[in-house]
Structure 1
């Protein structure tokens, strides 16, 4: 059995090691949608601002949906899966041979078959229910709105927004006079409830907010197609934390890199931030990455105070400045929330959902001033005594100034004792007095 030191050395050198972990395969897409342009498979970002080619398909596909990192579609009388390279793999007969509109909700592949909604369970391809629609609609594609669970698509002549309740089959339509087109074969809906629809002949992608369809706009994507289809990708979020339960979250940018620090994930945009307790303003440099073609916005909240800075394409850092702040007198740390947004967001807030970028949070240490240490006074050095070789000056030192002293009160002296005669004199006097008295009597 090797010693602990040898084992540690072997582990450090990589001699004793398990099999290397195989990195997980990159999913076909996140936060956006895949689109079939005839026989070309494209991946768009969630706002349809850009796309990248994934691969070429051997033949067109219809009713495309996305499940477990694969596309499911109808092609050539078969149900097929589509991988990120565009390869088609047959997995069974076509469940609904003539289906054009398809979307996936969870593990339910929802297909439109004339006046009927067909619910197919994935990956088993079992039909679990059929729902009759309240009216027949002609749609080139439909998609699931993640905010209300309903299916939406665009009908033409005139252009109308069609909503289908997948539970009841109820159909509702809304006129779209500002949306022009003759065929909308590819439809997707973002995590924020915005319908993205390709108009095949013009190559425009319309952006229609489902909460207010009258605000529809379009992007000249230049993706014209005779045959088109689309499927929404799963949503990947980057989360922050919040004490009020409404944690900030941003969708992760997947075409290019838009991150705080080197990459989305670890909080690596700032290193050990600190602030002086007496500070009235504050500034911090944040590491960022923006390899997308569009400018981004960095916002920071120090406590409740907000600061913002633009992050142009290619930027590696951004400076946030707070010209006026006040540090609470009892604070030991302040919360710093950083949010990087794609584009120019309509709402910049420390809570809720946002498109693109990343969320990071830090505790900013408050540096309080240290009290001045007490230094006792140095004692006076003792007076130097003259050595025998020292010449003593004849000039007397100056006498100290007299200090008046309070007169001391003394008690009065005790009375002096009376002086007494010696004993012999006393005895002699005692004899003399009677003798004198007797002599005086005889004379008489």
Structure 2
């Protein structure tokens, strides 16, 4: 074993992306095992140069036990406890670094012990090794769409009771798996996929507690590029609920046809001709006419009062003339 480089943070769930030409990993802790606030997607090349692509766009979710990972197309599959998440790693997609699907692994006891899985290039299915239950290890397939975990074989040579932390699929349909520590030894196996699923132990070493594996990087590798992280896309508002169609309006009642008026009787008196009016004369101007006075009781009383006043005045003037004499 040769150490290529030391990383600034711990990574796990390794997978290989043919589109990016790099190893893809998930980082949830720093080199000193300090937990990160959010899980980050990291790209690695053959020299151990790591490029942090940014945090997974799911601040509401905490990745507690991510150890298994694989890349299928532009999706980075991650097992966290009994759940399988798919993260989009296509830099040109508006959903870049977002969780696009999550399913629960069923049965959970069989899926929760999968510490790594790989894509078989022959049939395109995910394969892993589970150590749960009694007896030897189980070769299982994982359906990313439904989360169904199916046991397809249990070769006697595969030890149970110890997890398989590194699983890689070869180009011809062979699974390469490392058992972390059975009877104080780590053991390396080849498992032929399909047919009898024959398993063969090909090596062993010191027990390991933290290990992962991914497909081989090509040589030469494509040039390294720093892919910008696109901004998060706004969530479109929900579509308005369809309104119920209006109630059917009954057709209007038929209106009876109007009967045409009866023709006038022949015995009716014919209308008489109307004589033309004489032209109107031009009105003459009005003349002021003195209103004739009519003797009334009030008029007579006033006349008597005036006469009495005149007599009194005459009597007074006569008395005054006599006094002067």
Q: TM-score, normalised by structure 2?
A: 0.52
- Report the number of matched residues: 188
Write the mapping of 1:327-338 to structure 2, written as runs, cut at 5 A: none
Residue equivalent to 2:138: 160
2:164 equivalent to 1:184: yes
Q: Distance in 2 between matches of 1:222 and 1:58?
A: 27
Equivalent of 1:71 in 20, 23, 26: 23
Write the mapping of 1:290-309 to structure 2, written as runs, cut at 5 A: none
Residue equivalent to 2:238: none
- 3-state SS, counterpart of residue 208 of structure 2: coil
Residue equivalent to 2:67: 100
The CA deviation at 1:59 is 4.3
Residue equivalent to 2:258: none
Residue equivalent to 1:295: none
Residue equivalent to 2:199: 216
Q: Distance in 2 between matches of 1:119 and 1:91?
A: 16
Residue equivalent to 1:233: 216
Residue equivalent to 1:109: 76
- CA offsets 1:8-33 (integer angstroms, 9 cap, x no match): xxxxxxxxxxxxxxxxxxxxxxxxxx
Q: Distance in 2 between matches of 1:206 and 1:131?
A: 29
Q: Distance in 2 between matches of 1:103 and 1:234?
A: 14
Determine which structure has more spread, i.e. the larger CA radius of gyration. 2
The CA deviation at 1:221 is 4.9
Q: Distance in 1 between matches of 2:100 and 2:198?
A: 37
Q: Distance in 1 between matches of 2:209 and 2:71?
A: 24
2:168 equivalent to 1:194: no
Q: Distance in 2 between matches of 1:92 and 1:59?
A: 13
Q: Distance in 2 between matches of 1:213 and 1:55?
A: 40
The CA deviation at 1:53 is 4.9
Q: Distance in 1 between matches of 2:176 and 2:3?
A: 18
- 3-state SS, counterpart of residue 211 of structure 1: coil
Q: Distance in 2 between matches of 1:125 and 1:223?
A: 36
Q: Distance in 1 between matches of 2:218 and 2:206?
A: 24
8 Å Cα contact 1:178/1:214 also seen in 2:
no
Q: Distance in 2 between matches of 1:143 and 1:195?
A: 8
Q: Distance in 2 between matches of 1:149 and 1:88?
A: 28
- CA offsets 1:212-241 (integer angstroms, 9 cap, x no match): 3542101115364220001123679xxxxx
8 Å Cα contact 1:64/1:73 also seen in 2:
yes
Write the mapping of 1:20-419 to structure 2, written as runs, cut at 5 A: 53-67=3-17, 68-75=20-27, 76=29, 77=36, 78-79=39-40, 80-93=42-55, 97-98=63-64, 99-123=66-90, 124-136=96-108, 137=111, 138-157=113-132, 158=135, 159-173=137-151, 174-181=153-160, 182-201=162-181, 202-222=185-205, 224-233=207-216
Q: TM-score, normalised by structure 1?
A: 0.39
The CA deviation at 1:166 is 1.8
Q: Distance in 1 between matches of 2:196 and 2:8?
A: 37
The CA deviation at 1:194 is 0.8
Question: Residues 213 and 58 of structure 1: is their aligned pair in 2 closer, same or farther, counting only changes over 3 Å?
Answer: farther
